[in-house]
Amino acid sequence: MRLQLQNFTKCFDGTPVIEGLDLTVEDGEMLALLGPSGCGKSTTLFSICGIYRADGGRIMFGDRDVSDLPSQKRNVGVVFQNYALYPHLTVEENIAFPLTVQKPRPSKSEIAREVRAIAELIHIENLLERRPAQLSGGQQQRVALARALVRKPDVLLLDEPLANLDAKLRLEMRSEIRRIQLETGITAILVTHDQVEAMSMCDRVAIMDKGEILQIASPTEMYRNPVNKFVAGFLGNPPITFLEGHTATEGRFAMDQGLFLPLPSRLRDLPAGQRISLGLRPEHFGSTGTAQASGRIVFVEPQGREMLFDVEAAPGVVLRSVQPVRDDVGVGDEVTWGVDVDRMLAFDMDGQTL
């Protein structure tokens, strides 16, 4: 089911934290709300499921305006960060709970059948007799997912579902949640502060900051063409390097520290003397490139499959490079590596992408 927020506003104690937000999630789509903590993503999620009241605007599920409906009537499945399993009930009773409070109440055999079906989908058939305290984090996560899905909600909301898992389980659950979402075809929203999670699990990512959605796009698109400096800086690990300076003659960029780089070809027409900043991702600085930059290696961080180099091109200018493992250079070496100039990002003084 298609979900829409129209001009949605939410205040706490009279102060708006989100104002006039518009968002559409298409039927069957999985969308990530990505942003730093305090950006309003959880507030948005809680407003969609009805725990918070919207202070303005409309929330639409398909053609249905649910803005003033209580949670119980919205038919939303939610997976909470700490799973919120009912500690006094078994896994089976936990999953069955949403069905037992339905009116009219389905028959026992019907409930049992539904529970079994969802348990099979989520691969927890063998845990049904246990209590939440006897489950690992990943298992609890699955149970929470099963409970959220068992009554076939219109929308599935996931609030930082992987935050409490260790690294290996996180990887496993990432693909599991995506598999289940695809199999059920449910419209889903994932709230997370982890860009990898957002980009690997979702069809589209909405990046939020200070109560506003800055950009909605597919992960690749957003990575390649961020709308502004914040998005560019937020996405990418290791992060992008920003270089401050101004346009110079002959299509060059003059850094404040006195170094020069060619401008990306699409920006050659900019008048000279305009202050801009360039963004250089680590993977675009390395052995190949259309321009060269040289400096001294000040730091090397081996990451197994890749290596991360910090190259000081001038005092205060450190360029970062990610390359396949190589042991021909080390700290203190002077290197001259290529810069993929045309894939550099450029921003004006307001942070907007040029």
Partner 1 sequence: MTKNFAIFPLIILLTIVSLPIAVMYGFLILDTFTDAPPGELWPDRFTLAHWRFLWDPSVVGNVWKAAGNSLILAVSIIVIVVPISSLAGYAVSRLNLPFRRFFLAGIMVMHAFPAVTLLIGVFFVLKFTGLYNTMIGVILVKGSLMLPFGIWIMKGFYDAVPWEIEMAGVQDGASRLTVFRRLILPQVKPGLVALSVFAFLDGWGEYLLPRILAPGSDMEVLSVFLNELVQADQLGYDFNLFKSVGVFYTLPVIILFVLFQNRLMNIFGGGTKG
Partner 2 sequence: MSSSADLNTGVARKSRRSDRRRPRISGLGLALLAPALFLLTLFFFAPVVLTGIFAFTDLSTSTGIGRGQYVVTPNLLRQLGDQGLTEDDATAIASVSITIDEAGIARATEGGVDPDFLSEIADRFAGESFDDPRAFSRELRGLPNAPRRPRELTQTAEYFETSVLNTRFDNPEALTAQLADVAPDVSSDTIAWIVDRSYTGARFTTANFERLATQKETLRLIGNTALYVAATLGLFNVGLGLFLAIVLFYTPKPVTSFYSTLWLLPRITPLVLYAIMWKWFTWEDGFLPIVAEQFGLPSFNYMKGSVVTAWMTMISLNGFIGASFGLILFSGALRAIPMQQLWASEVDGANRWQQVRRIILPQMRWPILFVTSYQTLSLLSSYEQIWLTTNGGPGRTTTVWALEAFTTALSNYTGNLQYGLGAAMALVLVVVGLVLSIIYLRLFKFGELVSRPKIEL
Gap between the Cα atoms of 155 and 181, Å rounded: 11
User: Which amino acid, one-letter code, is at 257?
Assistant: Q
Of 15, 37, 72, 107, the residue at the interface with partner 1 (CB under 8 A) is 72
- Near partner 2 by CB under 8 A, which window of 65-73, 143-151, 278-286, 337-345? 65-73
CB-based contacts of 89: which residues, under 8 Å, 6+ apart? 97, 131, 132
Gap between the Cα atoms of 345 and 325, Å rounded: 26
Of 2, 4, 52, 239, the residue at the interface with partner 2 (CB under 8 A) is 52
70 near partner 2, rule: CB under 8 A: yes
The alpha-carbon radius of gyration of the chain (Å, integer) is 25
Gap between the Cα atoms of 339 and 283, Å rounded: 9
User: Which among partner 2, partner 1, none contacts residue 200 (Cβ within 5 to 8 A by kind)?
Assistant: none
The stretches of the chain forming alpha helices (DSSP H) are: 41-49, 91-100, 108-122, 137-149, 167-184, 195-201, 219-224, 229-234
Of 30, 32, 34, 54, the residue at the interface with partner 2 (CB under 8 A) is 54
97 near partner 1, rule: CB under 8 A: yes
Provide long-range contacts, Cβ within 8 A and 24+ apart, for 231-235.
231/207, 232/279, 232/345, 232/347, 232/353, 233/279, 234/34, 234/35, 234/36, 234/195, 234/207, 234/209, 235/195, 235/199, 235/207
Cα angle for residues 169, 171, 176 (degrees, 5° grid): 90
> Residue 107 carries which DSSP code?
P
Residue 277 tokens read as 């900043």
Number of residues that bind partner 1 (CB under 8 A): 26
Of 1, 2, 17, 56, the residue at the interface with partner 2 (CB under 8 A) is 56
The pattern of x and - marking residues 21 through 50 that bind partner 1 according to CB under 8 A reads ----------------------------xx
What's the closest the beta carbon of residue 43 comes to partner 2, in angstroms? 11
User: Which among partner 1, partner 2, none contacts residue 278 (Cβ within 5 to 8 A by kind)?
Assistant: none
User: Which among partner 1, partner 2, none contacts residue 54 (Cβ within 5 to 8 A by kind)?
Assistant: partner 2
16 near partner 2, rule: CB under 8 A: yes
Residues 106-165 that bind partner 1 (CB under 8 A): 147-148, 151
User: Which among partner 2, partner 1, none contacts residue 147 (Cβ within 5 to 8 A by kind)?
Assistant: partner 1
Number of residues that bind partner 2 (CB under 8 A): 14
Residues that bind partner 1 (CB under 8 A): 49-51, 70-72, 75-78, 80-88, 97-98, 101-102, 147-148, 151
Residues that bind partner 2 (CB under 8 A): 9, 11, 14, 16, 50-56, 69-71
